[in-house]
C-alpha cells in the first residue's frame, strides 16, 4: 500500500539539490500517487489534487483574469455557483448560466471574452445531461477550453477527456473516496500548459490535501469500480419504485427513457449512476416529513458514499442560489435528492415507504 509521507519538508544534498521533493505544499509522494491514479482513470496525463472540490474549482478559475467571461451550465452544485457569484465576481470574472441541453445555444451564448466553458453532467441536483462531445466541438472551434465536473458520473461511467473536454474536475469527497471521511478535490487534464499553470496555482494558493486524506482516497479508489456497479444496480431498483409511486410527481434520472437527456446519457455514459432526484407531491412540510421519517437514508448533504443520503436541495445544498434561479431550474419545495448507497435495496425501498407514510 502507498506509504503516507507526512513530512512537510525534505532534506537537500545542498541548496537547491533536492531529490524530487522539497516542500510538501509543492509536492508530496502520497499526493503524487493519488494524482497519478486519478489521472490514469480519467485518461489524463496530469492530475492536480486539492483540499476540496471547491478548491479544485477555484484553482481552475484562477487561471482566468479580470474581464474574462465563463459560460456555465445552469445546473451546478450550489457551492460552485457561490464561487462565481460571491467570490470571483468581486475580482471582475463574469459568468453567465445557460441550459446547455441544446449545444447550439452554447455557441450563441459565447462572447468575445469567453475564456472557459464549465458544466456538470449529470448535473447537481436536477440530473440534467449535456452532450460533452457536441459541446466540446463548439468550444474547440472557438479555441475555448471546456471543463467538465465529473463528480456525479466518475471515470467508471463517463470519461469527458475522451469526448473532447480539456479539463475534468472532481470533488473526491464523493464517489472517488466513497466513504464520507475525506473532503478533497482534483483536476485532470492532458493539456501540458494548463497542467503547468494548475500546478503553479496549487503551490502558490496552497489549497492542498493532506497526505493522510490522499491515502484514504487512494484506498477508496480500489473499490470504485465495484461500488459504482452496485450504486447503479440499486439506483435502478429505487427509481422503479419511485416512478410507480402515487406520491411522486416526477423522477429525474438519466436512466429513465422519459428523461430528456436519456439518449445522450446512453451514448456518453456506460451507466446512469447512483444519483436520483424526485418531486414529492405536496408542500415543504411533506418533504420535511419524508426526510425526518427516514432511518436508513441519512438526511445529510454530500453524496457518493457507501451509505445512502437524502437531502432537500432548496434548503440544503442549493440554498446559495437566488430563489428565482432555483425556481427556474425546478428546485422546488418538493424536490428531494437521493444518493443511493450500498445497503440492501429492499431495506432502502422499505425506508422510503416509511417516508411516504409520514408525508401523506
Residue ranges that bind ligand P1T, judged by CB under 6 A:
52-54, 77, 79-80, 120, 124, 149, 151-152, 171, 173, 183, 185, 301-303, 317
Tell me which residue has its CB nearest to ligand P1T: 53
| CA distances, 182 to each of 47, 148, 174, 303, 314 (Å) | 18, 22, 9, 12, 25
Closer residue to ligand P1T (CB): 115 or 174: 174
Whole-number minimum distance, CB 304 to ligand P1T, in Å?
Answer: 8
Closer residue to ligand P1T (CB): 73 or 110: 73
SS3 236: helix
Q: Is there a cis peptide before residue 220, judged by omega within 30 degrees of 0?
A: no
Whole-number minimum distance, CB 85 to ligand P1T, in Å?
Answer: 15
Whole-number minimum distance, CB 309 to ligand P1T, in Å?
Answer: 8
What are phi and psi for residue 332, nearest 5 degrees?
A: -100, -175
Whole-number minimum distance, CB 181 to ligand P1T, in Å?
Answer: 12
In terms of Cα–Cα distance, which of 188, 156, 182 is closest to 170? 188
**CA 299 – CA 312 distance, rounded (Å):** 8
Closer residue to ligand P1T (CB): 74 or 149: 149
In terms of Cα–Cα distance, which of 77, 95, 98, 121 is closest to 321? 77
SS3 64: coil
Contact between 313 and 301 (Cβ < 8 Å): no
Helices (H), the chain: 29-42, 53-61, 78-82, 103-109, 132-141, 154-157, 192-205, 211-221, 224-244, 262-268, 284-293, 323-329, 345-358
Specify whether 222 is catalytic: no
| CA distances, 328 to each of 92, 119, 259, 277, 324 (Å) | 25, 17, 18, 16, 6
Whole-number minimum distance, CB 117 to ligand P1T, in Å?
Answer: 16
Contact between 251 and 284 (Cβ < 8 Å): no
Specify whether 191 is catalytic: no
Specify whether 175 is catalytic: no
Out of 115, 174, 236, 326, the active site residue is 174
**CA 34 – CA 210 distance, rounded (Å):** 11
Whole-number minimum distance, CB 55 to ligand P1T, in Å?
Answer: 7
**CA 294 – CA 180 distance, rounded (Å):** 19
**CA 204 – CA 183 distance, rounded (Å):** 20
Out of 21, 25, 197, 250, the active site residue is 25
**CA 336 – CA 351 distance, rounded (Å):** 15
Out of 31, 46, 74, 77, the active site residue is 77
Whole-number minimum distance, CB 297 to ligand P1T, in Å?
Answer: 14
Q: Could you tell me if residue 118 is left (phi over 0), alpha (psi between -120 and 50 degrees) or otherwise beta?
A: beta
Specify whether 13 is catalytic: no
Catalytic residues: 25, 77, 149, 174
Amino acid at each position: 500500500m502507498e506509504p503516507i509521507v507526512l513530512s512537510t519538508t525534505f532534506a537537500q544534498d545542498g541548496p537547491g539539490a533536492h531529490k524530487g521533493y522539497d516542500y510538501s505544499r509543492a509536492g508530496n509522494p502520497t499526493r503524487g500517487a493519488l494524482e497519478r491514479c486519478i489521472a490514469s482513470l480519467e485518461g489524463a496525463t496530469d492530475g492536480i489534487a486539492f483540499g476540496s472540490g471547491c478548491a479544485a474549482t477555484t484553482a481552475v478559475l484562477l487561471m482566468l483574469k479580470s474581464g474574462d467571461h465563463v459560460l456555465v451550465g445552469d445546473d451546478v452544485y450550489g457551492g460552485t455557483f457561490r464561487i462565481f457569484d460571491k467570490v470571483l465576481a468581486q475580482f471582475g470574472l463574469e459568468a453567465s448560466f445557460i441550459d446547455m441541453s441544446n449545444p447550439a445555444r452554447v455557441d450563441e451564448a459565447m462572447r468575445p471574452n469567453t475564456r472557459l466553458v464549465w458544466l456538470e453532467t449529470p448535473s447537481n441536483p436536477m440530473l440534467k445531461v449535456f452532450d460533452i462531445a457536441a459541446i466540446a466541438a463548439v468550444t474547440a472551434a472557438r479555441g475555448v477550453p471546456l471543463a467538465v465536473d465529473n463528480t456525479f458520473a466518475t471515470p467508471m461511467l463517463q470519461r469527458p477527456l475522451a469526448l473532447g473536454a480539456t479539463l475534468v474536475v472532481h470533488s473526491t469527497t464523493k464517489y472517488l473516496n466513497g466513504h464520507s471521511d475525506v473532503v478533497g478535490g482534483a483536476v485532470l487534464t492532458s493539456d501540458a500548459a494548463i497542467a503547468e499553470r494548475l500546478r503553479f496555482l496549487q503551490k502558490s494558493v496552497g489549497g492542498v490535501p493532506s497526505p493522510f486524506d490522499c491515502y484514504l482516497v487512494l484506498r477508496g479508489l480500489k473499490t470504485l469500480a465495484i461500488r459504482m456497479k452496485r450504486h447503479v444496480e440499486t439506483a435502478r431498483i429505487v427509481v422503479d419504485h419511485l416512478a410507480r409511486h402515487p406520491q411522486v410527481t416526477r423522477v429525474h434520472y438519466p436512466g429513465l427513457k422519459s428523461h430528456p437527456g436519456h439518449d445522450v446519457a446512453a451514448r456518453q455514459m456506460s451507466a446512469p449512476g447512483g444519483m436520483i432526484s424526485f418531486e414529492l407531491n405536496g408542500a415543504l412540510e411533506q418533504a420535511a416529513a419524508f426526510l425526518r421519517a427516514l432511518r436508513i437514508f441519512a438526511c445529510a448533504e454530500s453524496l457518493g458514499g457507501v451509505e445512502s443520503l437524502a437531502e432537500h436541495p432548496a434548503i440544503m445544498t442549493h440554498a446559495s442560489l437566488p430563489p428565482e434561479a432555483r425556481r427556474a431550474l425546478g428546485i422546488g419545495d418538493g424536490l428531494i435528492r437521493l444518493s443511493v448507497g450500498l445497503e440492501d435495496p429492499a431495506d432502502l425501498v422499505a425506508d422510503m415507504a416509511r417516508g411516504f407514510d409520514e408525508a401523506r
